[in-house]
Amino acid sequence: MRRKRETPRIAMDRSAVMRAVKSQDTAPERALRKLLHAVAPGYRLHRADLPGKPDVVYGQRRLAIFMHGCFWHGHDCKRGARPPKNNADYWRRKIARNRARDEANVAALEALGWRALTIFECELKNEDALKARLARALGAR
């Protein structure tokens, strides 16, 4: 009898990990929404009619909030600035494309008369500072 050739375990594990990465309703998003609910409830989630499909939208205030992962969006913090060891060229290009897309989305929102606020996941560590930043953004119309 011939044995079936198995896929390498590392490839299967990596694939499973990448499949598990969610794009909506992530833990950082939920933490941000909890803070926002305390500061100013009355937001909408993931408005598809706006450029970039912002994570949180305050329509009356014309404010779109994006919650970005530090690694995925190339933030200059410790986690975002750490270069990947495997397939480094691919990830460098991927993160550069993400950053370019983010800039284009913010520019498109501003052209429509909206304000855009980007929150990185590392900012969730200092809740008081983030709450103050959110209150300033939500207070200014």
Cβ-in-10-Å burial (0-12, 13-18, 19+) of 58 comes to: buried
On whether the CB atoms of residues 119 and 138 are closer than 8 A, the answer is no
The answer to whether residue 9 sits within a structural domain is: no
**Cross-strand bridge partners of residue 83:** none
The answer to whether residue 2 sits within a structural domain is: no
Average the pLDDT over 3-18 and give the result. Answer: 62
Question: What is the model's pLDDT at position 86?
Answer: 87
Neighbour order of strands in the sheet with 63-68: 44-45, 56-58, 63-68, 115-120
Question: What is the model's pLDDT at position 81?
Answer: 84
On whether the CB atoms of residues 74 and 120 are closer than 8 A, the answer is no
Which residues are within 8 A (CB) of 62 and not within 5 positions of it... i.e. 6 or more apart? 113, 114, 115
Residue 137 pLDDT more than 90? yes
Each residue's pLDDT tens digit, 51-103: 999 999 999 999 999 999 998 899 999 888 888 888 889 989 999 999 999 99
The answer to whether residue 48 sits within a structural domain is: yes
How many domains is the chain built from? 1
Quote the domain boundaries for residue 102: 22-139
Which residues are within 8 A (CB) of 113 and not within 5 positions of it... i.e. 6 or more apart? 62
The answer to whether residue 3 sits within a structural domain is: no
The answer to whether residue 111 sits within a structural domain is: yes
The b-or-e profile of 38-53 (16+ CB within 10 A means b, else e) is eeeeebeeebeebbbb
Instruction: Assign 14 a pLDDT band (cuts: 50, 70, 90).
Output: low
Provide the percentage of residues in the chain whose pLDDT is more than 90. Answer: 65
Assign residue 117 the CATH number of its domain: 3.40.960.10
The answer to whether residue 87 sits within a structural domain is: yes
The answer to whether residue 1 sits within a structural domain is: no
The answer to whether residue 128 sits within a structural domain is: yes
